[in-house]
A and B are shown apart, each in its own frame.
Chain A
Amino acid sequence: MIENLGEDKSIYLQISEMIEDEILRDILREEEQVPSTTELSKFYKINPATAAKGINLLVDKGILYKKRGIGMFVCEGAKATIQETRKTSFYENYVKKIISEAKLIGIDKAELKKMIDDTNEL
């Protein structure tokens, strides 16, 4: 779980992204129960309505589902769904920033390509 909420985007988005990250990292597995909105709101000291908004966003995206009387669970195939969605926005959210920074400090395409080629993470 993330320690602190930042101020850079809406809190409910941060909550939903955090849960998505945990699903991607297998900290939350498919068909496992997710913390309730009350637990989340108490942990992060946020308004329960905000926590609920974050959870509901994930329900709308098909990532979580509700078991009546019990709580929220991770949908089957959620991990794949998240990866797909994030791939689509990867350019907008990350690559554009790298390009703009590289431009600012004078790194050319070749240098940038080399940096990526040299990594053994991917």
Chain B
Amino acid sequence: MGTLSGKNIVKKYGKDTVLKNVNIDIETGKIYGLIGRNGAGKTTLLSILTAQNPATEGTVTLDGQPVWENEEALSHICYSREIPQVTMFGPNTLKVKDYLGTAKIFYKNWDEEYAKELVGLFNLNPKKKVSKLSKGMLSALTIIIALASKADITILDEPVAGLDVVAREQFYKLVIDEYAQTGRTFIISTHIIEEAASLFEKVIIIDDGQIVLNENTEDLLSRAYRVSGEDVNVDKATDGYKVYHPESIGRNKVVTVLAEEPVAGFGEDVQVEPVALQNLFYAMCVDGRKEA
């Protein structure tokens, strides 16, 4: 299967433009990480890419075919996100097994055995009402639906939000296992970046309704540097490079540099260290943004 592409996607809610001319290509067969601040547009983008919500402008195609209301395209996609515990009418009294049963009907590749195994693994009670589930159980349910769907393109929106560290590690292991076995495409959006960074073959950063970057994680990090030293030296050494989030304390200055290509050296007068994905993201998004 080819590429899931979004072209010139604009999404407005009334006067508010949440997505501003987004162009994105998702290659199948990879694990993607999608990171962005709250309100950056992650969920909106994902819901549009999966044809669950209409874009104001722009098109989404899978293998060149439009995804909107397209049976063939939709059969390959699973977009799993947090199940509401409260509806307009009161608590969500549907049970875990109702959701699993519905998923079984709708996902043509649904693996019932695998789902049962995961239910046991996460210790989920199928008879429990969704409104009565703890945050951890709720996350577990969305994860189970996503994994057992066996969909070619599986998207998880903040799957580890409610999970403790043990459950999170369990989740990462499950994804790796599934990916190693089936090679299916995963897109995982998360706020807990550093733990998952080594899982992502490619990372997409979205900020303020625009895609900031979409590239191979290791390539990206090989061009990111934390340069520190005396302020005049740092400025000299980083002249001409894209510099983020400069911080100073006394005469000491630290900046984060993202170069176009890996840099051999910044000279003798400054200290250079590599940057972890989370810190790079932080440096790129922390300044000059409206609050979510």
Contact = CB atoms under 8 A, between A and B. Distances in A.
A50 B30 contact: no
B176 A42 contact: yes
Contacts of A38: 177, 180
Per DSSP, are chain A's interface residues mostly helix, strand or loop, or mixed? Answer: helix
Q: Contact residue range for chain B? A: 20 to 34
Interface stretch (B1-9, B122-130, B197-205, B282-290): B197-205
Nearest to B169: A45
A7 B274 contact: yes
B173 interface: yes
Per DSSP, are chain B's interface residues mostly helix, strand or loop, or mixed? Answer: mixed
Contacts of B221: 10
Given A47-B31, A50-B198, A11 B176 contact: no
A45 B274 contact: no
Q: Contact residue range for chain A? A: 10 to 19
A47 B185 CA distance: 12
A46 interface: yes
25 contacts: A5-B198, A7-B276, A8-B274, A10-B221, A11-B198, A11-B218, A12-B218, A42-B176, A42-B177, A42-B180, A45-B169, A45-B172, A45-B173, A45-B176, A46-B198, A47-B31, A47-B179, A47-B198, A47-B199, A47-B201, A48-B179, A49-B30, A49-B201, A50-B198, A50-B218
Given A9-B274, A49-B30, 12 more contacts: A7-B275, A12-B218, A41-B180, A42-B173, A45-B176, A45-B198, A47-B31, A47-B179, A47-B200, A48-B176, A49-B31, A50-B218
